[in-house]
Structure 1
Amino acid sequence: MNDPDREKETHPLSGVMEFWENVMADMEATAAEYREAGWTVTELHPGDVTPVPARVDTVETGRVGLDVLVPGDEFDAVEDVVGRAAFDAYDAYRAERGDVVFAVVVMQAEDAGEAVAVPVYYTKKEASPMLERVDEDGEMRLYVRPLSGDRRVVFVQSDPEALLPVDDGGDEDA
């Protein structure tokens, strides 16, 4: 049985990979600015970013936000810094290309002078259940994990507006 909607699905970065490379460069430049201001910055380079819950989810997990897969050494570094510092603020820089939302999120532990820079992306269509839940809950999370999936670091964005698509007043089902 063929599902026409399933056949049309592609990776969220299809057709916008060059823009993703620019987002990664922006993350590196932002991290450099933080370092110049005296912060210690851990930069993450996601292999994949998945909204949860997603349009294709069949099991309710209770998680709401973006699942961010990072290399094991980067996960170890972020897990270490989270063990030493309380991350209680963030900055986010957002851009959109078509249906794809990009952001550079900088989680901050101001008292410790530590920051974690995380570039993320998602398609509005795939993320629609997540976006509805974020709207209801008033917060969002980044679930950073290694490939093994046996550990996770969670960053909370209690005011997630900077990570959400700009409301263009268009038809969300289009």
Structure 2
Amino acid sequence: MAGSHPLSGVQDRWEAVVEDMEATADEYREAGWEALELHPGDVTALPTASAAVESDRTGLDVLLPGDEFRDLEELVEDAAFDEYDAYRGQEGDVVFLVVAMKAPDEGLVVVFPVYYALREAGEMLKRVAARGEMWTYLRPLDDSRRVVFSQHEPDNLLPADYGDEEGESGDVEDGESTDEE
């Protein structure tokens, strides 16, 4: 139904993706990484249809609980998150991802699940495919600050028909925390 939440009708799949994220974080811990798990409250594909022309923010806007956002800000402060793994699934119109942003020199990983509905992500998908880069904007409810991760070679973050499914890793720019006025 138009205007409905992207997870309408696929809530069970989302719960399974969250469980996969938690298992993925455990696998990193078992391999010696310090892993931070994040549990988004909402995810929005950017730009939104209403802001497609005006916005140059492209990617996923991820709302986090305040305590998880504070932990994230502290973790990324002195670390270079320059690699990522992403695991993709799709059910109907909804793409599900588990993203693991890695700072290998520090042995740190941030693992989080995200989703987007194809019907709402058309402009985002076009821009990401054209630029060869996707951004993830993680933020608290008040949207006063953000941690931004940039994923280069984002084919594994796009629907299967947008690119190569063979690779699961790509290079990224450093995760950084930004304050917004």
When normalised by structure 1's length, the TM-score is 0.90
- From 77, 86, 93, the equivalent of 2:71 is 77
Q: Is the 8 A contact 1:54 1:128 kept in 2?
A: no
CA distance in 2 between partners of 1:8 and 1:74 (Å): 32
- The letter for the 1-side match of 2:56 is G
More strand by share: 2
Q: Counterpart of 1:167?
A: 161
Q: TM-score, normalised by structure 2?
A: 0.87
- Mapped partners of 1:60, 1:86: distance in 2: 31
Q: Greater CA radius of gyration, 1 or 2?
A: 1
| 2:61 is aligned with 1:67 | yes
Aligned counterparts, 1:9-24, within 5 A: 9-24=3-18
39, 44, 58: which is aligned to 1:45?
39
Residue by residue, what CA displacement relative to the aligned partner does 1:38-76 show, whole Å, maximum 9, x if unpaired? 000110000000010122326622111000000000000
Q: Does 1:87 align with 2:81?
A: yes
How many correspondences in the alignment? 162
Does residue 100 (structure 1) correspond to residue 94 (structure 2)? The answer is: yes
* Alpha-carbon distance in 1 for matches of 2:122, 2:84: 23
CA distance in 2, matches of 1:96, 1:55: 21
Identify the residue that residue 124 of structure 2 maps to in structure 1.
130
- Using the alignment, how far apart are the partners of 2:52 and 2:130 within structure 1? 20
Query: 4+ residue runs of structure 1 moved beyond 4 angstroms?
Result: none
Give the unaligned 5+ runs of structure 1: 1-6, 169-174
Identity of aligned residues (%): 59
Whole-angstrom CA distance in 2 between matches of 1:26 and 1:58: 32
- Unpaired runs of at least 5, structure 2: 163-181
CA distance in 2, matches of 1:48, 1:81: 22
